[in-house]
Amino acid sequence: MTDSDAGEILADVRRGVGRILVNRPKALNALTTDMVVALDQVLAEWERIPLTAVVLASTSAKAFCAGGDIRTIREHSLNGDTEAAERFFASEYRLNARIAEYPVPFVSLIDGLCMGGGLGLSVHGSFRVVTERAVLAMPETGIGFFPDIGASYFLPRLPGAIGMYLGLTGSRLDAADALYTGLGTHFVRADGLDAVGDALADAPGEPADVVLNRLAGRSPVGESGLAAVRGDLDRTFGAPTLGEIHERLRRLGTPWATTALAALESASPQSLEITHALLARGRQRTLRECLDAELALTRTIIRTPDFLEGVRAALVDKDRTPVWRRASLAGRTQSSS
């Protein structure tokens, strides 16, 4: 096995299947610029050789990937190093686009946490295998940021108003919910994940979907909590404005609505406004257009008080009590989102 970037990305090809392991377990595989670049280079090299599939997994049972190393981005912003921050996001989004356009089946094995940038590594690929330990989320509005990594493309394309709900609230999905929404495509128990790469190698002429279905365990999709509240979810988060979403949740008053309302009220107001506008536009944009719009937004957002404060509260001091300031982005938000 060859490795790159001090072992944080492990990659090899065995029997026609490219296998990549994200290997930064102490940081829950939070992505650095070097890791993203290394991943992109591996995939670029593999485009030139005949492969049956590419399998992306983690060396950690706790996390597939908890997202981008957003603490470092905050440090770049505080230090005025906009070039370093730009390099991270531009490299990450380039990788997202490569995965989306990859010439062979791209199979992600999601075991444990998969948040933010972790979804960027997986959801754009052909297949997302989830285990009983999978937890998926886009929690950016809670740290003064916005759902990026192409989320303005894939969230609006989820059924009904599910994407708007996930993007605004940062709600966590278990395996059942992931399969219900389509963010997960197959269910394989954690103790069966090691067999995926070999099974794909054993059946190079078969569609990857057929191979994965053979490995799949009994799907928990029938236990989806989101499915149980789907009617209420579509009615509330399908409202045309943030104010109306709040109002419909208040009127509904169910335990689910109360929890969703609390999530909105604890998030950055600036982030909610940006996210709502971004997702509303995303349905009519291509993935690359969405990534371009997101990259433009990052340049502004990472300098705002809400981003600096949100990351401080969640990831630096970890007091979980951000004090939001409603930064006025009216003109810039309209033009760049």
Q: Of 67, 68, 116, 184, which is the active-site residue?
A: 68
- The values of phi and psi at residue 309, to 5°, are -75, -40
Q: Specify which residues 18 forms β-bridges with.
A: 13, 54
Indicate the residue type of 89. F
- Percentage helix, strand, coil, to 5, in the chain? 55, 15, 35
Q: How far apart are CA 135 and CA 147, in angstroms?
A: 16
Residue 326 and residue 270 in contact, taking contact as beta carbons nearer than 8 Å: yes
Catalytic residue, chosen from 40, 69, 140, 294, is: 140
Sign of CA dihedral 180, 206, 211, 198: negative
18 is catalytic: no
140 is catalytic: yes
Which residue in 5, 92, 111, 148 is the catalytic one? 148
Q: Residue 292 catalytic?
A: no
Of 117, 120, 170, 184, catalytic: 117
Helical pair 255-266 and 230-237, crossing angle rounded to 10 deg:
40
- Yes or no: say if 323 and 144 are a contact pair by the CB < 8 Å rule: no
Question: Taking a C-beta distance cutoff of 8 angstroms, is the pair 142, 314 a contact?
Answer: yes
132 flagged as catalytic: no
The closest of 56, 48, 121, 51 to 91, measured between CA atoms, is 121
Distance CA 175, CA 40 (A): 27
User: What residues act catalytically?
Assistant: 68, 117, 140, 148
